[in-house]
Amino acid sequence: MRTWNRMVMGTVVAVALLLGLGEAEAYEELTVTDGGTLTGQVTLDGAVPKPKGYNLTTLPDPLYCGRISDGQGWRILQPFQVGPAGEFRDVVVYLEGIDKGKPFHERSLPQVEAKDCLFVPFTTVVRDDQSVTVVNMDPVMHDIQAYETSHLGPRVLFNVPLPMNPQHPRNFKDRSDAALYHKHLAGAPMKQLVNLSKGRRTFVMQCGFHAYMESWGLAVTNPYFAKTDEQGRFTMTDVPPGTYKLVIWHPYIRTTVEHTVTVGPKGTAEAHIAVPAPIGRLYANEVLDHAYVRYNVTEDTKKEIDPMIQKQAR
């Protein structure tokens, strides 16, 4: 109970991710004198899956959150960021089997922002003993529900409110004022310790008020990881010479995608990985080709929900 009481004293969640690593040896940091470089590109092979769709009128703050919407009263969430040539963006790639090598880069802690009713970024990489900070920048309340997940099924990590900064107005004169308010102010910190179960490396955060707010995290055991850029490319440096398993991770790619790479002393290795696009229905709330009547948004409501920040495509 004392831990729970401390959780409600601020507006930022710091999540310490401590994996149950059993008897696995801890990663040893040392100077790599003959390390090589691994570069590569990840592409999605096949049709980009359909996005998720959320009827804004069934959830709180439809006017403020509807500033990013499709103009028909729906918020669209596309978990797959893919370029015109199949460049698979914001995908995590990491090497397994390295128990000693370069130090972790401690420049700053990972941070997820709740901004315009989005969790940004969609994917985050953390150490197994590092914190991630979650900040509410919006003038509306958010509620963070976090789960660890794996093939064993989900387990609740925590459920904590993420109140808005007290400098934000709490009572707008009318509903349209909420949509016209554009300031983003961070709130005060709140810390919560989370232990991931043995064998689990991924977690997901969602907002209990706004179901379309979603962010995924991956915990790593060594610093040899990267996220793909706009071209789907990545680079890892100071890799100890050897042959390793390169793993490609995206929360909605259900099958493990691996690639064997060999990095020579002070050499450069290149890896090009085509990830098969998943087929079939990936989620219950997949955007429909035609809206069913019971999901329709009235014409009057459509006029109120104005996508003044971004008009989304289905």
Q: Which residues is 292 bridged to in the sheet?
A: none
Which residue, chain included where needed, has tokens 């999605």? Answer: 44
What dihedral angle (degrees, nearest 10) is formed by the CA atoms of 253, 153, 285, 231? -20
Q: Give residue 21's pLDDT.
A: 40
Give the pLDDT means over successive 10-residue stretches in the chain (314 positions): 40 43 68 95 97 93 94 94 97 95 78 92 82 86 84 76 85 71 75 61 90 92 95 97 96 92 96 95 86 70 88 88
pLDDT of residue 64: 93
- Please report which residue ranges of the chain form alpha helices under DSSP H: 2-7, 62-65, 175-180, 299-304
Q: Which residues contact 293 (CB under 8 A, 6 or more apart)?
A: none
Using CB atoms within 10 Å of the CB of residue 22, give its burial: 0 to 12 exposed, 13 to 18 middle, 19+ buried: exposed
pLDDT score of 173 = 65
Q: What pLDDT score does 147 carry?
A: 86
Quick one: DSSP state of residue 240?
Answer: P
Residue pair 239/38 in contact (Cβ under 8 Å)? The answer is yes
Query: Checking phi first, is residue 301 left (phi over 0); if not, alpha (psi -120 to 50) or beta?
Result: alpha
Sequence-distant (6+) residues with CB within 8 A of 298 are none
Q: Which CATH code is given to the segment(s) 2-18+33-289?
A: 2.60.40.420
Query: Kind of pairing, strands 92-96 and 225-227?
Result: antiparallel
Please state the domain extents for the chain: 2-18+33-289
Burial of 142 (0-12, 13-18, 19+ CB in 10 A): buried
User: In 97-224, at which residue ranges do the beta strands (DSSP E only) sit?
Assistant: 100-101, 111-115, 118-120, 123-127, 131-136, 142-149, 155-162, 189-196, 202-207, 214-220
Which pTM value belongs to this model?
Answer: 0.85
The stretches of 59-195 forming alpha helices (DSSP H) are 62-65, 175-180
Is it true that the peptide bond before 121 is cis, omega within 30 degrees of 0?
A: yes
Per-residue confidence (pLDDT) for residue 96, from 0 to 100 = 94
Nearest CA among 79, 74, 23, 75 for reference residue 51: 79
User: What's the rounded Cα separation, in Å, for the pair 141 and 164?
Assistant: 5
SS (H, E, C) 285-298: CECCCCCCHHHCCC
Is residue 98 a contact partner of residue 36, using CB atoms and an 8 Å limit? no
| Nearest residue to 230 via CA among 87, 41, 122, 40 | 87
Whole-angstrom Cα distance, residue 52 to residue 212?
Answer: 8
Amino acid at 78: Q
